[in-house]
Amino acid sequence: MQADNFVTAVQRHSARSRWRRTAILIVVAIIFLIGFVALILGGVALARFSDSSTPHYENIVEHFKYGSIGSEPESGLPYWLWQALPKLYPEEFKGRDDYKAFGFLYEEDEDGSQRDLPIGVSQRRVSGVDLVWLNCAVCHTGTVRMTEDEAPTIIPAMPSNNLDLMRFIEVVLDAGPDPRLAPDNLFPILDDMGAELDWIDRLVWRLIVMPQVREGMLDQRAKLGELLEAQSDWGPGRVDTFNPYKLLEFGKDFDDLDDDEIHGAADFPSIYYQGPRDGMQLHWDGNNPSLQERNLSAAIGAGVTEETVDHESIERVADWLLDLKPPANPNSEDPEVLTAGRDIYMDRCVACHGYRGDDGGYVFAGETLGKVTPIGEIATDPGRLNSYTEELSVLQRRLFEDDPDYAFENFRKTGGYANMPLDGLWLRAPYLHNGAVPTLHDLLMPEADRPGAFVRGLDLFDVEQGGFVAPGCTPGESVEAGFCYDTDAPGNSNAGHLYGTDLSAEQKSALLAYLKTF
Amino acid sequence: MSEDVIFQPLDWPNLKVKNRIFRSSISGRFDNEDGGVTQTRINWENKFARGGVGAIISSYVPVLMEGRIIAGYATIHDDRLIEDWGKLAEAVHLHDCRYIMQLSHSGRQMDIPGVYNQQRPALSSTSNKESLHGFLCKAMTARDIDTTIRAFAQGARRAREAGIDGVELHASHGYLITQFLSSGINDRKDAYGGSLQNRARFLLDIIGAIRAEVGDGYHLQVKLSGIDHNNVIPWEGKGNTLDEGIEVAKWCEAAGADAIHASIGSLFPHPLMPPGGFDFETIASTYDAMISSGVDTLRNYLLFRYPLLRPIFKWIWFRMKKHYPVEGVAAEVAHAFKRNVKIPVICTGGFQDAALVRRLINDGWLDGVTITRALVANNDLPQQWRAGRDNPDRPCTFCNKCLLNAPKNPMGCYELERFGGDWDRMVQELMSIYETKPDLQIPDRAAA
């Protein structure tokens, strides 16, 4: 028998195959090590980048102002980028660290300091990254001051009279190709702001977050750029709801749009007391009688998609709005004048616009209230009506097709503008769908006597004329505050709705007194 | 004479047995390192003869030193061992009990090789390592085969010269002859591999050689697994089917076997043989004695030792037990053999209930039963049966702790509950076979 140092055959066998076992062990160890590292990294990534959540606000008003409706995942900006943009583009933000330059409204937190996000901007963590974007309140919260000296009172559900959405969008989209948005430029600013990004965060921001954000900006810029260029400036308190919708949601090209449909900017509406409005022709042109579809469509305008929509959140807001009445009108008028004005109103206006009951509350009653008056008769600017096309109504009815609870079924092209209830009228200036007439007083004037250009975007209540103070201005010249609205610009006409313009000065005065109580 | 069929004698051409109860083969580390029988073994075997069995099938008795399962088991590899085996036979015969020597060769199934074998891989039909423990082996050459066949024949001759009443070829449970028979193990390309006939050639050649050596007038039986169920380790081949087992039994009969001893399984222990439990605490305390024997033994030890890993082995082991009873686990195999051969068939596997044994004999499924664990627990089981107690008062629980202690401890019953939880009583029973010391000699007295 062979003599060697091995005591057993098993030992000899093991010694002979040691190199093979060692190699296997090394391979296994390497695989294990790689697996271990992958596991650790995966665990860290999972912990960091799988968190998807949004703050919950128990208070419904807080939810309305700051709660997410699902716009952030597809349309939003990273929270820290949102905070950094004012520092990157001080010229666009008027040197401020916030978004007040665009009319965003800020509240104070409990310790009296300004909140980090304005009203109408919500936060949601998506795959571990905090994103922010718009909710309903951004377009439907405004301010009013009864005197020049007092601080603005923020009123949820009134139309936003401050927000210059078009300029905000342009600034954000123009940042896409701007080299200042490069990570190496951005990171020091984020560090100064206390973002505390560690090396993993920086890697993710460099490789994933910023490329995706900039790609999104460039994509939207490419889609919207020509439209925004071609349109009249919206100015504060206005939005073109449906043309961006066509380009972003349905992939239409700007060249596909007819010339007469591109000037669709209109005022933000108030959204009080929606319950009695159910079944009326909603939107300025009355294109849908369903509150749910109108709400969901508006949410899409704010940036939600079929995939990201937070129905529960939207329905919370919708339920709250069903019974939310506008704040009481602070005006007090001579009772005799009011009686005279009421008589005129009941004779000339009530059929289309309802009336104010004896208890001061608005009464939703009127033969044609909430119905569409043909454009030939109302004769106001047709831009907004034309912006909503038959083709768009067909495309909209394809949204949420797979979800019977939310499928759009009621969008239809109409031929005019809807007769709106007038509750909370004192907070809804300027008037007409496109906000082309600054005050109620002016609305009772014939077209030639209505202001041709006026400042909008101010919130000082005009006790005399009903609406907000809107001094005259010269288009093209800068104004101290607000925006010079030019009624000669496409889509901005102050024509039409000549009801009551034929009344005598005394009758108009009485009717104005009555209208100011709405 | 008793009317109970269990106690009807067997009157076979070359063997007469007073009843139908055989003590099946079981061993313990009682013997000398050189293969010599000790007084302890004689005491051990005598207990069963005294208890009333009709015949004892010896412990596993290697025909060559390189065929040992565990060093410390007596062998029959040399003529100098005949005399001591004769004394063992004489002791058993005093109780009108027959003694049958189980001629064996471990092949690759060598649990503890000992100093004689630890330096070389075991001989087998194959060079593939054993599946459960990873025992190393090397395929036998034609010369190895010839040597081994002749060793079996010489073993039979020595048994006859020792006064032993017959021999049994251990052609089951995964030992060398099974390693040739089983399609799950044998991968040879020569005349001893491939077809069933080729795989059976080794066994049939041994039968022929024995008959040539001892003639037709000496009892020769074959312990044969009817079914292999070789895939205990799931990726192993399934081995021989029952039809193949029956065919081999018929060939054994034709070659000159006097009886068939039916069993099951192509390795030992096997989930089905011996049937019953598998106590992890016991195996975890004894298996360390085998760690150096194989290349997969450390893996097994870890599986036995750590409770978190035990479910893996439990699944491997217990999945095969479904649909098989503990008592009479191989009875259907015996029945199949019985229908296909004319020679007597005895059967092993978990017998303890006299009523079952009685029924199987009466129904013609088998001619007698071979019992181990129930007799280890109750040496006097035949007397209890004869007294009308079909089941003993302190029955064997088929826990298999006797088997699992084998690598390290004396053979005996380790089921503590059978001793009322009294550990000392259990140890006393284990030690009983050592009580009568052999005559101790003072080596240099004669020269002094």
Q: What is the pLDDT of residues B341-387, one digit of tens each?
A: 999 999 999 999 999 999 999 999 999 999 999 999 999 999 999 99
- Residue B108: the pLDDT is 97
Residue B442 has pLDDT above 90, yes or no: no
CA distance A98 to chain B (A): 60
| B133: nearest CA partner in chain A | A10
Count chain A–chain B contacts defined by CB atoms under 8 A.
26
- Residue A329: the pLDDT is 82
CA distance B295 to chain A (A): 7
Tokens, residue A353: 């616009």
Residues on chain B touching A14 (C-beta within 8 angstroms): 295
CA distance A7 to chain B (A): 6
Residues in chain B: 448
- Residue B444: the pLDDT is 74
Q: Which positions ≥6 away from B447 have C-beta within 8 Å?
A: none
| Interchain contact A7–B (C-beta under 8 A) | yes
- What value does the mean pLDDT of chain B take? 95
Confidence class for position B206, pLDDT limits 50, 70, 90: very high
Q: How far apart are CA B413 and CA B400, in angstroms?
A: 9
Confidence class for position A398, pLDDT limits 50, 70, 90: confident
Confidence class for position A403, pLDDT limits 50, 70, 90: confident
- In this prediction, residues A107-112 reach a mean pLDDT of 92
| B118: nearest CA partner in chain A | A8
CB contact under 8 A, B120 and A1: yes
Residue B436 has pLDDT above 70, yes or no: no
Residue A3 has pLDDT above 60, yes or no: no
Residues on chain B touching A1 (C-beta within 8 angstroms): 119-120
| A11: nearest CA partner in chain B | B292
Tell me the DSSP string of A114-178: BPSS-TTEEEEEETTEEEEEE-GGGTSEEEEBSSSSSPPEEEETSPPSS--HHHHHHHHHHHTT-
| Interchain contact B295–A (C-beta under 8 A) | yes
Nearest CA-CA partner of B14 in B42, B55, B45, B49: B55
| Interchain contact B291–A (C-beta under 8 A) | no
CB A173 within 8 A of CB A221: yes
Beta sheet of A77-78, edge-to-edge order: A77-78, A129-134, A121-126
- In this prediction, residues B214-230 reach a mean pLDDT of 97
Q: How far apart are CA B292 and CA A458, in angstroms?
A: 93
- Does ipTM exceed 0.85? no
Residues A255, A261, A265: CA angle, nearest 5 degrees: 115
Q: How far apart are CA A459 and CA A427, in angstroms?
A: 9
Element (H, E) at A215: helix A210-230
Residues on chain A touching B121 (C-beta within 8 angstroms): 9, 13
Say which amino acid occupies A353: H
- Greatest mean pLDDT among A38-47, A68-77, B436-445 lies in A68-77
Residues on chain B touching A24 (C-beta within 8 angstroms): none
CA distance B352 to chain A (A): 40
Q: Which positions ≥6 away from B397 have C-beta within 8 Å?
A: B276, B277, B415, B417, B418
CB contact under 8 A, A7 and B136: no
Cross-strand partners of A362: A356
- Residue A249: the pLDDT is 85
Of B118, B120, B121, the CB nearest to A7: B118
Mutation target to probe the B interface, by most B beta carbons within 10 A, among A2, A4, A6, A8 is A8
Residues on chain B touching A7 (C-beta within 8 angstroms): 118-119
- In this prediction, residues A413-441 reach a mean pLDDT of 96
| Interchain contact A505–B (C-beta under 8 A) | no
Lowest mean pLDDT among A15-19, A69-73, A460-464, B260-264: A15-19
Quick check: helix, strand or coil at residue B16?
strand
pLDDT tens digits, one per residue of B318-345:
998 888 999 999 999 999 999 999 999 9
- In this prediction, residues B148-161 reach a mean pLDDT of 98
Residue B219 has pLDDT above 60, yes or no: yes
pTM attached to this predicted model: 0.58
Confidence class for position B446, pLDDT limits 50, 70, 90: low
- Residue B332: the pLDDT is 96
| B137: nearest CA partner in chain A | A9
CA distance A14 to chain B (A): 8
The pLDDT > 90 percentage for chain B reads 92
Residues on chain B touching A20 (C-beta within 8 angstroms): none
| B122: nearest CA partner in chain A | A9
- What value does the mean pLDDT of chain A take? 93
- Residue A347: the pLDDT is 94
Residue B437 has pLDDT above 80, yes or no: no
- Residue A357: the pLDDT is 87
CB contact under 8 A, B295 and A9: no
The pLDDT > 70 percentage for chain B reads 98
Residue B116 has pLDDT above 60, yes or no: yes
| Interchain contact B441–A (C-beta under 8 A) | no
| Interchain contact A14–B (C-beta under 8 A) | yes
- Rounded alpha-carbon distances, angstroms, from residue A337 to A354, A462, A467, A517, B62: 20, 19, 19, 12, 129
- Residue B439: the pLDDT is 73
pLDDT tens digits, one per residue of A438-465:
999 999 999 999 999 999 999 999 999 9
CB contact under 8 A, B292 and A10: yes
pLDDT tens digits, one per residue of A262-302:
999 999 999 999 999 999 999 999 999 999 999 999 999 89
- Residue B2: the pLDDT is 66
Among left, alpha and beta (phi > 0; psi -120 to 50; other), residue B366 is beta
Mutation target to probe the A interface, by most A beta carbons within 10 A, among B118, B133, B300 is B118
CB contact under 8 A, A10 and B136: yes
The pLDDT > 90 percentage for chain A reads 81
- Burial of B235 by CB count in 10 Å (0-12 exposed, 13-18 middle, 19+ buried)? exposed
- In this prediction, residues A24-38 reach a mean pLDDT of 95
Residue B438 has pLDDT above 70, yes or no: no
CA distance A10 to chain B (A): 6
Residue A1 has pLDDT above 80, yes or no: no
Confidence class for position B447, pLDDT limits 50, 70, 90: low
pLDDT tens digits, one per residue of A231-245:
999 999 999 999 998
Confidence class for position B441, pLDDT limits 50, 70, 90: confident
pLDDT tens digits, one per residue of A33-62:
999 999 998 888 788 778 789 999 999 999
pLDDT tens digits, one per residue of B20-60:
999 999 988 889 999 999 999 999 999 999 999 999 999 99
Element (H, E) at B404: helix B401-405
